[in-house]
């Protein structure tokens, strides 16, 4: 093996190592993004369940008999509400597991740039630019 071949093989090894580090960093970044998406999805699920509870409360009479879809048992409105509340409790437990009881995430929802509205983002950016120019 001559010097050029040795140098090429060394550079090839070095590039693979750099690619691996970059890939690990990107995967870590995706994981972090994934946590926020998981949190958002679980919170959206709670909101949807709460909306369903309101709908059930208005449409179902107190004495109406309902069938539990999973067990097949008959229950009343109160029993159905308990099942739905248990679903919400399980989602809350999952949120606590994902966030390590809130220790893994900080300022996700208090960060003023964490807004789903693009117009709001533009307004905040303009306000910050105005403050920087006037300071």
Report the relative pairing of strands 74-75 and 66-67 from DSSP bridges: antiparallel
Using 50, 70 and 90 to split pLDDT, how confident is the model at 110?
Answer: low
Partners of 33 in beta bridges = none
How many Å apart are CA 81 and CA 129, to the nearest integer?
A: 50
d(C-alpha 98, C-alpha 35), whole Å: 7
Q: Look-up: residue for tokens 């003023």?
A: 112
pLDDT single digits (tens) 69-99: 778 888 888 888 888 899 999 999 999 998 8
Q: Is the pLDDT of residue 56 over 80?
A: yes
Do residues 108 and 39 lie in contact, with contact meaning Cβ atoms separated by under 8 Å? yes
Structure-block tokens of residue 59: 């449409």
CA atoms of 116 and 124, how far apart (whole Å): 13
Contact 108, 36 (CB under 8 A): yes
Q: Give the largest CA-CA distance in the chain.
A: 89
The model scores a pTM over 0.75: no
Give the tens place of pLDDT for each residue, 27-54. Answer: 555 555 567 788 888 999 999 999 988 9
């Amino acid at each position: 093996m001559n010097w050029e071949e040795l140098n090429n093989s060394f550079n090839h090894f070095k590039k693979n190592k750099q690619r691996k580090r970059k890939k690990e960093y990107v995967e870590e970044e995706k994981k972090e993004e994934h946590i926020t998406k998981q949190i958002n999805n679980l919170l959206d699920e709670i909101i949807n369940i709460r909306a369903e509870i309101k709908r059930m409360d208005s449409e179902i009479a107190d004495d109406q008999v309902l069938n539990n879809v999973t067990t097949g048992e008959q229950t009343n409105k109160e029993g159905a509400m308990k099942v739905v509340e248990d679903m919400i409790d399980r989602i809350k437990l999952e949120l606590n597991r994902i966030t390590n009881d809130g220790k893994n995430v900080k300022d996700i929802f208090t960060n003023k740039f964490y807004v789903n509205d693009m117009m709001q983002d533009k307004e905040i950016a303009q306000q910050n630019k105005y403050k920087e120019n006037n300071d």
